[in-house]
Structure 1
Amino acid sequence: MARETIGGRVDGEADVGRYRHLIEHVQDAVVEFDLVDGEPIVNDVNQAFVDVFGYEADEIRGEPLNEWVVPDWKLAEAEALDANTASGEVNYRQVTRETASGLREFLYRGVPYAGTEETRDGLDGGFAVYTDLTEVSRNERRLEVLNRVLRHNLRNNANVVAGHTTRLLAELDGQDGETTDVAATIERAAHELERLAEEAGHIRRVLEHPTDEATDIDPEPMVRSVVEDHRGRAPSAAIDVAVADSGPVMADSRLRYAIDSLVDNAIEHNPSSEPRVRVQIESAAVAGSTADEWVAIRVEDDGPRIPADERDVILDGSKITPTHHGSGLGLWLTELTVETFGGELSFGASELGGNDVSIRLRRR
């Protein structure tokens, strides 16, 4: 039987057909190699490899792959991957590789196969598939730097502003009412900046944590703990808890961020001097399922309704504009957290006269 290769070369007549079409149209760089004494020798490459790595097929064919694409300091890593391939294991790893234009980051997948005398002249080999992650990795690093610098500077400067404004308010006590109002407005804005920095940190932790780990948690102790915290921070608020049903749900300790954010919003965005908040845990029905499958954590208030455009941005991906973005990160934090656990966030009207924001999570 003739020998088939990625580029469609054959040592005789053979129908490379679908095999050739598939590999040539894969956007990832693919190398087919033979293992000779444990070393990958290039048999063929697809066009994506030529485009990404900058080496022509005729130039690299028959050459040791590692000598062309592996930096010297990564050779031990590459040899370990080759040893795994030779033993029949499939490899997955993020790697740094050399191209004609410099170093780039890739997701490497090594897929082995065993040859036969009839099909591959008795040679063992495999495929090396490289997905270019260079721009993804660079953007991740840039965002990491931006996140750290922004949150650090935002928090520090907000602390400075809040601290000095508090001192100013103390000195202005009983003096010019307009000046005092201005200082109080500055103080509130500074505290809001502090809260934004804190919420940004929570969002980062939610997104970075693995989401494929099977875990469960009983939300009742968490809800009661959050409520106690807010009763201490806002003694004028009337916060009630009602538990009609509970039990383990598919979530982990990050669920606290979502609950805390909703209770905080219910208090902070209520102009009343004595805001009312009610937190309930109960069974919930979601379309296509029964109430026994889901648990709802509802946070109700008697404050102003959340504007429809803010709800739309959070729930249906409406375009974010300077006037259509939401007033903070709290609802984003809640939505991202709930989404992480495969749950659902919804908005409604409360019997208290304000908002009814529900987190629905599947029972474990």
Structure 2
Amino acid sequence: MADEENAEPGNYQQLISVSPAPINLFDESGEIIWGNDAVLDLLGLDSREDLIGRSIFDFIVAEDQYTAEQELVDVVKSKTATGPTPMQLRRADGEIRSIRVSTAPGRFRGRDIGQAVVIDVTELERAHEELETERQFVQNALNALPDVFYVITPGGELDRWNDSLLDVSGYDAEEVRAMDIEDFFVESHTERISESIATAFAEGADTVEATVVTKQGREIPFEFRKRRLVDGEDVIGLAGIGRDISERKAREQHLRAVDYLLQHNLRNQINIIQGSVELVSDASSAQGQSAAERIDAAAERLLSIFDNHHLIIDQLTTPQPTESIDVVAALEAIARECGESYPAATITTDLPERAGVSGVHTLKLALRELVENAIEHNERREPQIEIDVEHTDPRVVIRVSDDGPPIPEMEYRSFSEDSLLDSTYHSAGFGLWFVYHAVRQSGGSLHFDRGEKRGNVVTIDLS
């Protein structure tokens, strides 16, 4: 600030008066000898008369009085500039404000003074506290996750993580900071991890399964999902979740083991039964032949249940990529082939030229299962089946209607209410379960309704 001895007092006062920053002049005792309008606003005073002649210590809170005294000595007596120094002041109305004070020595009307420029940082500190509270909330929420959360920099380095990463890996934060990402995995999986990270940066997202090796040497199968982080048009990293899939892997392994057991033992035993039935029916009486036919039908039913079970196991344990499917072309082929296989049935269609959806490859098998079910479970000699499709891009609605007996609720209610399943309330087979999973994996929904007069309407809603 200019030395007032070398400038007109009026000019000097005008300079500090118009400054938007609070500027205060005080003597060696701390008595205020001048202050601009911004000081009055900061302190909540009505006029300069309420300010001049008062001590700076009247406005500084007790906890900061000693600091203010030391700075007063430095700036007036020792001619040493200080600050910016954090302090708190109390306004005339009692409100506490947080400030930063920078002081410098000066001369005013022939005497040594101190000059203070004050910055009110109250709102800034409040905003900072709110941001810190929000940051801590987010961090607490992330730490509450049982899954591992992580952020990867564009350079492929681990930048942030939650407590679950430390809990799972057994490493502390300092050790994690010094590690490469590949160090957390078995050596045979490091390449797939690097490729997955590169894919996520290039394409926006990726999912990979890999085996984590803990500090203690334990190996744990994990699934890692990650998405690209952007700030405007700039890619700033990847954010992802890692989930322990040990239990899922164990369930899949058990399902496959049961499937192989049934495939080997059940199918072989049923084939023996069917072969024996053929021998018995050739030489039996009419009554015996009838019994043999029932045994053969039961064996065929068991084989059908097993075949659908095998398809469901494959659905649930093998990745099911989606593909583009024209459901109109698929339904036209199904209607034609079922018409040939079931000549007594009348199959009518109401289809647009084309209706494309994104679905798993088993969706076409599921559509066939619905049409065949409608025919096979119909007690009429000449079943009537109607297939129609509504296409309102991107939504496709498929309906298969029949005039057969109502589908029992227990065949489909357990799809959405698994608590209903028990030893007495369950489906008679796996056909509709197979349809349900194919539709679900294709991003659609499955609905069952009664026909207006008779029969059923099964609706698949895909969008």
Whether TM-score is above 0.5 comes out as: yes
What is residue 276 of structure 1 aligned with on the other side?
A: 382
Q: Measure how far apart 1:314 and its partner are.
A: 4.7
What is residue 266 of structure 2 aligned with on the other side?
A: 154
Local SS of the residue matching 1:195? helix
The AA in structure 1 aligned to 2:381 is P
- Determine the C-alpha separation between the residues in 1 that align with 2:363 and 2:205: 36
What is residue 144 of structure 1 aligned with on the other side?
A: 256
What is residue 165 of structure 2 aligned with on the other side?
A: 49
RMSD: 4.3
- Contact (CA 8 Å) 1:279, 1:297: kept in 2 or not? no
- The structure whose Rg is larger is 2
Paired residues for 1:68-107 under 5 Å: 69-77=184-192, 92-99=207-214, 100=216, 102-107=218-223
Bigger relative CO (Cα 8 Å, ≥ 6 apart): 1
Q: Which runs of 5+ in 2 are unaligned?
A: 1-128, 231-235
Paired residues for 1:117-196 under 5 Å: 130-174=242-286, 177=287, 179-196=288-305
More deviation in 322-331 or 200-209? 200-209
- Determine the C-alpha separation between the residues in 2 that align with 1:29 and 1:228: 54
What is residue 50 of structure 2 aligned with on the other side?
A: none
- Contact (CA 8 Å) 1:246, 1:295: kept in 2 or not? no
Q: Measure how far apart 1:190 and its partner are.
A: 0.6
Local SS of the residue matching 2:420? coil
- Contact (CA 8 Å) 1:300, 1:350: kept in 2 or not? no
Distance 1:264 1:156, change over 3 A: farther
The AA in structure 2 aligned to 1:331 is L
What is residue 333 of structure 1 aligned with on the other side?
A: 434
- Contact (CA 8 Å) 1:311, 1:347: kept in 2 or not? no
What is residue 111 of structure 2 aligned with on the other side?
A: none
Query: Which has more strand, going by share of residues?
Result: 2
Q: Which runs of 5+ in 1 are unaligned?
A: 1-12, 115-123
Local SS of the residue matching 1:146? helix
- Can you list the C-alpha shifts for 1:340-362, whole angstroms capped at 9, x where unaligned? 441433231475x5x22323445
Distance 1:230 1:204, change over 3 A: farther
Identity, in percent, stands at 21
The AA in structure 1 aligned to 2:167 is D
- Determine the C-alpha separation between the residues in 2 that align with 1:222 and 1:312: 30
- Contact (CA 8 Å) 1:165, 1:187: kept in 2 or not? yes
Paired residues for 1:189-268 under 5 Å: 189-204=298-313, 208=318, 210=320, 212-218=322-328, 219-231=330-342, 238-249=344-355, 250=357, 254-268=362-376
Local SS of the residue matching 2:209? strand
